[in-house]
Amino acid sequence: MHDDEYDEFFRANYPRLVVIGMAMSSSRAVAQDLAQETMLRAYHNRDELSSYGSPLAWCRRVMSNLVIDHHRTTVVQHSVATRLSADRTDDDTTNDPAIATTNPRWADLIAPLTATQRAVATLYYAEDQPVSTIAHTLGISPGTVKSTLSKARASLRRHLAAQQEAHS
């Protein structure tokens, strides 16, 4: 892929990667950073990338992996911070910038899910990707995608039922 082709690829796909990242991470800033990292990796691998049938699928996989890695890092950092500040009693995340997004309804809906469940649900529902494509993108089996979707749906049902009970 020549630089001109890459520039066109970037312009066409960067915004889409940001949207995917926002849905998975619930943060516009994180999504933009990870989309930039994804596109940087695509640039460094542009010769190899041009031989793929779908360079965007490769980027989706990289983006998904980066979001999952970011989530793992954030969980570890939060855990360490919690242990270090044992006197902290509030667990208020309402001011957490990672919760902010331009699509709060989707982000709020999938917030209780694990990072992998958010990735699978976003690719399945928001990106309308088939199970086989999601499996290839995330490097997991189609059975794992189906199982993850099932667990995500069950978790969402429980979460939504609890919210309805709280408002009743």
- Note whether residue 94 is domain-resident: no
- Note whether residue 51 is domain-resident: yes
Q: Mean pLDDT in the chain?
A: 78
> What pLDDT sits at residue 131?
92
Largest Cα separation within the chain, whole Å, is: 59
CA distance 77 to 10: 32
Q: How many Å is the Cα radius of gyration of the chain?
A: 18
- Note whether residue 157 is domain-resident: yes
Query: What is the total count of domains within the chain?
Result: 1
- Note whether residue 93 is domain-resident: no
Confidence check: pLDDT of 108 > 90? no
Show the domain range for 70. Answer: 3-88+99-167
CA distance 33 to 98: 13
Give the pTM. 0.51
